[in-house]
Amino acid sequence: MVFPRIPLQLCWAHKLRNIAEKVRRKEGSCVAEAAAIYRASSKNQALLAFRLWRQAWQHRRPNAVACVERDLDHLLSFFSVPEAHWKKVRTTNVIERAFREVRRRTRPMSSFSNTESCDRIIYGVISHLNSSWEKTPFFEFTHST
């Protein structure tokens, strides 16, 4: 809604967890092979890796294949940004870290006097994180997935 022309990027870490829920433990190679899709060197290579993965798993685990196929365009959006940013763009780790920090700061507070007081706390936490990220480059702050 706010940025309608920005491509949507879904999180690969979450998608791999979704696949893992759809396969048996002994079929863990399904998840590992799916990870090869996002590790490709280009979008075309990723599409080829997906086709090979789909061919290998379609008959055994159609739900896992459908899970990726349904969102493939949104899973490969990260290829449209510079390669140096791929590892950070393909997951939601940074956003989740910010939400976790907000929860960590607000949960001990038993109540807020009004909505504005809660907004101020959240603003303060996000502002602090932003200043931390200015000091520590984005690529060093997060761990890659």
Domain boundaries, the chain: 12-89, 93-141
CA distances from 89 to 2, 70, 86, 124 (A): 18, 19, 5, 25
Q: Coil, helix or strand for 114?
A: coil
CA-based angle 82:88:91, to the nearest 5?
125
Which pLDDT score is estimated for 142?
44
Q: What is the pLDDT along the chain (145 residues), one digit of tens a residue?
A: 667 787 888 999 999 999 999 999 888 799 999 999 999 999 999 999 999 999 999 999 999 999 999 999 999 999 998 998 888 888 877 777 777 888 888 888 777 788 888 888 888 888 887 787 666 654 444 444 4
